[in-house]
Amino acid sequence: MNFEKRGAAFDVPFDEEARPVLKQTLDLFPIGNCTASALIDREGRYVWACVPRVDGDPFFSALLGGGDPAGAQAQGLWDVVVEDAVRTEQAYLRNTPVLRTVITTASGASVEITDFCPRYRQFGRGYRPLAFIRLIKPLGGAPRITIRLRPTDDYGAKPCAQTVGSNHIRYVGAEATLRLTTDAPVSHIQAERAFRLEDPVAMFLGPDESFDGDVAMACERMLKETLLDWRSWVRTLTVPLEWQEPVIRAAITLKLCAYEETGAIVAALTTSIPEHAEETGQARNWDYRYCWLRDAYYVVQALNRLGAADMLENYLVYLRNLVDVAGKGEQLPVYGAVDGPHLPGPRGLGSTTITDRSKASHVQPVYGVGLEPVLTEWIAPHLPGYRGMGPVRIGNQAHEHLQHDVYGQIVLSTVQAFFDERLFRPATEDDFRALEPIAQRAFELHDTPDASLWEFRGREAVHTYSSVMCWAACDRMGNAAGKLGLTDRAAYWNDKARIIRETIERRAWNEGLGRYAATFGGEELDASLLQLVDVRFRPPEDARMQATMKAVEEGLRRGPFMLRYAIPDDFGTPKTAFNFCTFWLIEALHLSGRSDEARALFEEMLTRRTPAGLLSEDITFDGQELWGNYPQTYSLVGLINCATLLSKPWSSVR
């Protein structure tokens, strides 16, 4: 089989010199199939996976268990313990999220573990069940292994209950029940008894239903089909000449963050990885397992640059459903004895919604992967947190925020469908009419306070970035109307865009400082000001934009890395840099004619990736450690965007 090679810091498929395994780091390898997902650590151990969806109960919760997952009392994991192990080597199979781990013992015996979630086409539809497959094979010698399969229930409160059959074990949880079907001795697994691995072992942990056929043969077939499915998708990508491996790995991982059943794209696969190492318990921990419209826009924008139209089309299904719901009014939570469908709420509380029809076309910044509007935030008391640094939050209060940039991101995500002839379902005049109330809200709100894209919880202002995104909504609606031949609507929206532009130029430009400010009438700096170029509000060579880019770099750069902002927020002064903003800086350097600096900084960022080739949200100022939820879509978007911008053209080698 082919293994990936990378040209940066972690550049070999297997370590040339085994490095010591650090406990509780973000050196994690995601696997998944756009329904199920899991994170596997450097010892080949599942430490994170949620059921029945990415935003559900962590079935494998050791990542937030607060202790050493190798410990005898550790819970929320799936481990293959090899006796006398001295070396662990890991790599993805080329152009897939299928992970191969080889563990070698002091005597030279070795074990190969292949981990994946099945994904392929069958019976004319996609097969992507809530299932995890492990194939364990002896490669040499006589290794002895112990399988520790210890899922948790009720957000780490207790182990899952078990029932046992002749060839299976059922793990019963409140939100989902999974069944392990295997050709390994079931009693060895249940008793966690060491045994000699003389023949390959297949383990299928999936839906609670009978497994038809030979489990080993079926899992090998699923592996072959899954490899072909992923490699076929990668082959459709239009990648840059340079940095192909990092771009492909980022693209695969962005796809893993999609919940294909609905089209949602989550911001990350985890909750409550702290933004920095200090001030344990000071609440800078967030649940990112939901669909932020802003993050999803950036994801489809980046994947569009690689030609991945499938992600755009599926996300547009999610957006069209959301626009339908938003047109009815603001969705408000009600707790207690209320008839109607229950939505996620505090543990032990059911919730439903009522609709405030006075706020038709109100859009939240974030929704559940099933379009749930209520994401009530609560703390899981039985999960100590990453390195014991709680709290662990479930849900996200941001669903209550006013963040006006989301109106622009809905339109920006959708507008391509009016022009792109590749799509199975091009956008229609009906779609345009459905979007008009969204754009109208953008116009109405463009000069009103919100919580900003950074989701401040304790203050509001009229944020320049939000206003510019409202301008973009109206501007792109003018483009779409022109494409449809709706000249009167094109004139209408172009006029609205003109009005917003004039307001921004008048109120966001600080004459005394000679640059744009992050808020109307303010003085603050914000890295999001760099995005005025990306949405075509100002060209990079514009004098106002040049002055603003210079001020942002001088005010927010810390060594090679960038802050979002430097002022204290609801929880104090930022103590780590924000990876996505560093990629924005790289773009700005290139567009300012400093391409050599941009390339050097981009190469620096590539060295900060995990062994899986990925990034989290934040990084320490010295660049030595990643923090924040993982893998972070924002950061991977930045990697793709910069690679496509900086790469030499294919024509240079053809």
Q: Which residue spans within 71-229 are E strands per DSSP?
A: 77-82, 85-92, 99-105, 110-116, 120-122, 125-127, 132-140, 144-150, 152-153, 158-159, 161-164, 168-172, 177-182, 195-196, 201-207
pLDDT at 14: 34
Indicate the pLDDT class of residue 507, thresholds 50, 70 and 90. Answer: very high
Q: Please enumerate in sequence order all residues whose Cβ is within 8 A of that of 71, keeping only pairs 6 or more positions apart, or say none.
A: none
* CA-derived radius of gyration, the chain: 25
- pLDDT of 621 strictly over 90: yes
Tokens for 39? 């994170």
Query: In one letter, which amino acid is 133?
Result: I
Indicate the pLDDT class of residue 332, thresholds 50, 70 and 90. Answer: low
Whole-number Å distance between alpha carbons of 285 and 271: 7
Give yes or no for a contact between 247 and 306, defined as CB atoms under 8 angstroms apart: yes
pLDDT top residue among 571 and 397? 397
Indicate the pLDDT class of residue 372, thresholds 50, 70 and 90. Answer: very high
- pLDDT of 351 strictly over 50: no
Which element (helix H / strand E) includes 188? Answer: helix 186-191
Q: What is the DSSP string of 439-480?
A: HHHHHHHTTS-B-TTTT-SS--B-BHHHHHHHHHHHHHHHHH
Tokens for 570? 């609801």
Indicate the pLDDT class of residue 359, thresholds 50, 70 and 90. Answer: low
Give yes or no for a contact between 238 and 247, defined as CB atoms under 8 angstroms apart: no
pLDDT tens for 138-161 read 999 989 999 999 999 999 999 999
Indicate the pLDDT class of residue 23, thresholds 50, 70 and 90. Answer: low
Whole-number Å distance between alpha carbons of 232 and 235: 5
Residues 455-463, mean pLDDT to the nearest whole number? 87
pLDDT at 15: 38
Indicate the pLDDT class of residue 589, thresholds 50, 70 and 90. Answer: very high
Q: Which of 443, 457, 534, 452 lies closest to 497, judged by CA? A: 443
Residues 294-303, mean pLDDT to the nearest whole number? 97
| C-beta neighbour count of 217 within 10 angstroms | 11
Tokens for 518? 């992050």
Indicate the pLDDT class of residue 357, thresholds 50, 70 and 90. Answer: very low
pLDDT tens for 377-407 read 999 999 999 999 999 999 999 999 999 999 9
Indicate the pLDDT class of residue 508, thresholds 50, 70 and 90. Answer: very high
- pLDDT of 133 strictly over 50: yes
Indicate the pLDDT class of residue 48, thresholds 50, 70 and 90. Answer: very high
Whole-number Å distance between alpha carbons of 214 and 208: 17
Q: Are strands 330-335 and 46-51 parallel, antiparallel or unpaired?
A: unpaired
Name the least confident of 8-12, 60-64, 124-128, 504-508: 8-12
The 3-state DSSP class for residue 87 equals strand
Residues 485-513, mean pLDDT to the nearest whole number? 98
Question: Counting every residue, how long is the chain?
Answer: 654
Give yes or no for a contact between 66 and 88, defined as CB atoms under 8 angstroms apart: no
Indicate the pLDDT class of residue 326, thresholds 50, 70 and 90. Answer: confident
Whole-number Å distance between alpha carbons of 492 and 29: 49
Residues 566-577, mean pLDDT to the nearest whole number? 83
What do you get for the CA distance between the two ends of the chain, in Å?
Answer: 28
Round the average pLDDT of the chain to a whole number and report it: 91
Tokens for 52? 């029945």
pLDDT tens for 69-97 read 999 999 999 999 999 999 999 999 999 99
pLDDT at 571: 74
- pLDDT of 8 strictly over 60: no
Give yes or no for a contact between 23 and 45, defined as CB atoms under 8 angstroms apart: no
- pLDDT of 620 strictly over 60: yes
DSSP letter assigned to residue 80: E
Name the least confident of 217-226, 279-288, 460-469: 279-288
Which element (helix H / strand E) includes 581? Answer: helix 579-591
136 DSSP β-pair partners: 113, 201
pLDDT at 3: 37
pLDDT at 446: 97
pLDDT at 263: 97
